[in-house]
Amino acid sequence: MATVIRVPALRVAQGNKDIYLFGIDGKKLSWFSTISRIRRRARTLEGYQRPEVTTHVRAIRRYLESEGSFLPNAIVLAFDQRVRFIPSEQQVTDLNYSTPGHLIIPVDPDDRYEEKTAWVVDGQQRAAAIRDADVEAYPVGVVGFIADDAAEQRSQFILVNSTKPLPKGLIHELLPETSGRLPDAYIRRKLPAYLIARLNMDDDSPFRGVIATPTMKDGYIADNSVLKMLEHSIYDGALYQYRDPMTGDADDEQMLVHIKKVWSCVAAQWPTAWALPPTKSRLTHGAGIQAMGYVLDTLTGDDTAAAISEGDLRSALEGLTPVCAWTKGTWQFSDDDVRRWDKIQNTPNDVRILTRYLLDQVSSRSE
């Protein structure tokens, strides 16, 4: 049966947004809030939280059960539009940015987790530890805000956690489906992160299901390697032609056509190396992905997606095959630098060496 929780709260105005400060028994948080774990349903990204870290939750729980425990850090919640704030009729402060009142939070024990009125943006492990702790009650401080939609919740999650060591893969997968202002470094990566999501999901993509992300556990190509390759191509390579540098607007569909065309040729030229993880193939290794990105940019940088000659591209790649040691043999970089196939590392220096070597081979075969 649906009911409400009514808690005294302080509304604080921050620019054009409001936040709500209140205290509540932490045991009641699970009545109306949920921890969203990131996952995909078909092509739709759902949630945004990382999984609970069991050992950390257990440690917090032991602390909470000890005498004199103290948890001063507030838990951050993103409410949906069903939550209301009712100002007090009698104001006890003349500060124009601070208003006392009550927060009205709907509670329905029959709600599924995705139907609850609040999502934990920060404090996931503390909330889980309080939930599981062998204590009758544990009051905690909460900071809440009312979000317009899930995209805003994801944006706030990234911002709140931007100074913490969040897994890069989690941030990259969330970026395409966020709204609101983000740090410049994240804005620059939002488009390549979107392209990665599409490349991982589209049926006609040579990268389908092979880029490792939090929702693609069986992927074997590091998302950060593909991200770096795409980021360079968008801002300095073949994909630059599809982006307006003044507005930042991009024709992402044409970008995808271009990427799929050229990398399908790579996958077709070296099918065995493309199907193996980086420990067994330097083509799917960070160094190989980035170096081949530079090669493909050079070979197709002057062509639109429609104008790319797949025959010419396959011919150029075929010419590289005798000098590539993706899965066995040696790399003959110079008389003084001969390496076994797996001795190339994902370091800036090795990426430069491999890139220069492959580009020199392309140039010498085109003369």
Neighbours of 216 (CB within 10 A): 21
- Residue 173's identity, in one-letter code, is E
Q: Residue 122 half-sphere exposure, CB side, CA atoms within 13 Å?
A: 20
Distances (CA, A) of 282 to 132, 159, 212: 46, 35, 16
What number is the average pLDDT over the span 72-94?
85
Residue 169: both structure tokens together: 């893969």
Max Cα distance, the chain (Å): 85
Q: How far is CA 5 from the centre of its chain?
A: 34
Q: Is the pLDDT of residue 300 over 90?
A: yes
Q: What is the pLDDT of residue 167?
A: 59
What number is the average pLDDT over the span 72-85?
90
CA-based Rg of the chain, rounded to a whole angstrom? 26
Q: What is the pLDDT of residue 63?
A: 85
Q: What is the pLDDT of residue 356?
A: 95
Contact 346, 225 (CB under 8 A): yes
pTM given for the model: 0.58
49 CB-near residues (< 8 Å, 6+ apart) = 35, 36, 37, 38, 119, 120, 124, 157
DSSP label at 134? S
Alpha-carbon span 229 to 208, nearest angstrom? 17
69 CB-near residues (< 8 Å, 6+ apart) = 63
What number is the average pLDDT over the span 100-117?
83
Alpha-carbon span 38 to 50, nearest angstrom? 7
Question: What percent of the chain stands above pLDDT 70?
Answer: 81
Alpha-carbon span 101 to 21, nearest angstrom? 10
Alpha-carbon span 6 to 101, nearest angstrom? 10
DSSP label at 222? E
Q: Is the pLDDT of residue 160 over 90?
A: no
Closest CA to 37 of 25, 50, 27: 50
Closest CA to 303 of 367, 365, 257, 360: 257
Contact 65, 135 (CB under 8 A): yes
Query: Which range is most confident: 68-72, 77-81, 278-282?
Result: 278-282
Q: Over the stretch 36-48, which tens digit does the pLDDT of each residue have?
A: 655 555 555 555 4
Contact 250, 266 (CB under 8 A): no
3-12, 157-166, 332-341, range with the lowest pLDDT: 157-166
59-63, 292-296, 315-319, range with the lowest pLDDT: 59-63
Across 70-97, b (16+ Cβ under 10 Å) vs e yields ebeebbbbbbbeebebeeeeeeeeeeee
Helix (H) or strand (E) holding 261: helix 252-269
In this prediction, residue 2 has a pLDDT band, given cuts at 50, 70 and 90, of confident
Distances (CA, A) of 325 to 214, 247, 290, 315: 30, 42, 16, 18
What number is the average pLDDT over the span 200-229?
90
Q: What is the pLDDT of residue 41?
A: 54
In this prediction, residue 96 has a pLDDT band, given cuts at 50, 70 and 90, of confident
Contact 119, 34 (CB under 8 A): yes
Residue 293: both structure tokens together: 């990105």
What number is the average pLDDT over the span 173-201?
73
Q: What is the pLDDT of residue 172?
A: 61
In this prediction, residue 342 has a pLDDT band, given cuts at 50, 70 and 90, of very high
318 CB-near residues (< 8 Å, 6+ apart) = 269
Alpha-carbon span 108 to 308, nearest angstrom? 57
